[in-house]
Structure 1
Amino acid sequence: MTPFQIIARLNAARIHHSITSIRDDAIMIDAAPPGERWEIEVFEDGHVEIERYRSNGEIADEAALAELFAGFPDAS
């Protein structure tokens, strides 16, 4: 599936998405359906890789930020 076909399907499903790139040989479409995040990478050779993240439904407050940043000491 081409990036244009993927974007057309996301638009038709009214799923918010953005396009970025973190590799020289691929573009990434970040999609955000309710309760999930999808990282869809379309590579120069045409193959597609997808990582899917699902929410456990728990909502944290601002105090969780300290825990999130604890693993990244340079993020002070």
Structure 2
Amino acid sequence: MNNPIFEKLLKLLNKLEQEKVSYTLAHHRDEAIMVTVAVPGERWEVEFLNDGSVEVEKFVSNGEIGGEEALGELFSRYSEQHDLHLVNN
């Protein structure tokens, strides 16, 4: 059986390996496999969908590096307690 989306996925993985670019595989949506590529200052999310399409989202750093105190912002913005607080108000 010939599956074009599987061939596209393998082609990308082989190219990443050949170029020694680090990546991880994930499965967050029923209909897709995600390849996450992290390079200095950027993270790329490439999703291969079972309908044959490919979606690419790129996240680029603004270059600012925070200290440990920045973790407080992470939890104040995204913790479950914070989400419950928003729902209850």
Taking structure 2 as the reference length, the TM-score comes to 0.77
Q: How many residues align?
A: 76
* CA RMSD after TM alignment: 1.7
Q: Which has the higher strand share?
A: 1
The structure with more helix, counted as a fraction of residues: 2
| Shift of residue 62, structure 1, vs aligned partner | 0.7
Cα distance, 1:13 vs structure 2: 2.1
Match of 1:25 in 2: 31
Structure 1 unaligned residues grouped into runs of 5+: none
* Cα drift, residue 75 of structure 1: 6.2
**Counterpart AA for 1:30:** T
- Equivalent-residue separation in structure 1 for 2:17 and 2:79 (angstroms): 38
Counterpart Cα distance in 2 of 1:75 and 1:41: 31
In structure 2, which of residues 34, 37, 40 is the aligned counterpart of residue 34 of structure 1?
40
Which residues of structure 2 form unaligned runs of 5+? 83-89
